[in-house]
Amino acid sequence: MSSADNAATNGKTAMQTPPVVSPQDWEAARQQLLVKEKAHTRARDALAAERRRMPWMAVDKTYAFEGPGGKLSLSDLFQRRRQLIVYRAFFEPGVLGWPDHACRGCSMVADQVAHVSHLNARDTTLVFASRAPQADIVRLKKRMGWTMPWVTITDSFDADFGVGEWHGTNVFYRDGMRIFRTYFVKSRGDEQMGGTWNYLDITALGRQEVWEDSPEGYPQTPTYKWWNWHDSYTEGAEPDKKWVEISDAGEKAFREEAAGKRK
């Protein structure tokens, strides 16, 4: 008996599933959808390029945070890198689950976060920030297995940057002693956050690879070549020669396959 038959028997509305087709028809349908998916990818890249050209807002106000080691400034959060992504996570008295858990949605975001070493390799730091005291944050991170930096907000930082309640992601750029706000996303926009690529795509410098449409003078390196195992990044190191060979071969095969399909 099919699931639709079961649903009819149980008095429920039958689930209207797509038709079952041959492998050839399935592949034809996939190729048809792939055209739209590639267009979506190109549109996403174009949007990221436009994002890199957004005007910057100077941050002149001084902000203070608490970290595991004591007081921190906004500049300290960069950890001497050029870019900073701050996710305001909803974890404080009054939140559902307090004090054992943060907001369920914010916790799902935290569960998605990729190893931050890949962001660090692109001169970018990711920090979570909440109003909960450090003792509660440290305990929560240990319970949930989260390792990203997580600080306590002690002033109007969250309200000043659009997230007085709930959650949101702000991006900043540091030029010497000057700090600029470069981007902000919240609500459903936060759903895509967690992966290295999505985080880099909302930063002022982007992925910093040569294929990107970025303003003149932006840092860019050959595509794929900076990638590494998360425990093997070394600051200032040249790309591994063997990985360069492998990635070059992969790019060549991809280009040849794409050229063949266009004929």
Longest dimension (CA), the chain: 69
How many Å apart are CA 206 and CA 131, to the nearest integer? Answer: 29
| pLDDT score of 263 | 65
Reading the block at residue 138, the tokens are 């440290």
How many Å apart are CA 251 and CA 248, to the nearest integer? Answer: 5
pLDDT, averaged per 10 consecutive residues of the chain (263 residues), comes to: 56 91 98 97 98 98 97 98 98 96 96 98 98 98 98 98 94 97 94 95 98 97 96 93 93 79 68
| pLDDT score of 255 | 82
Reading the block at residue 159, the tokens are 């309200």
Q: Are 210 and 221 in contact (CB under 8 A)?
A: yes
Reading the block at residue 259, the tokens are 């050229």
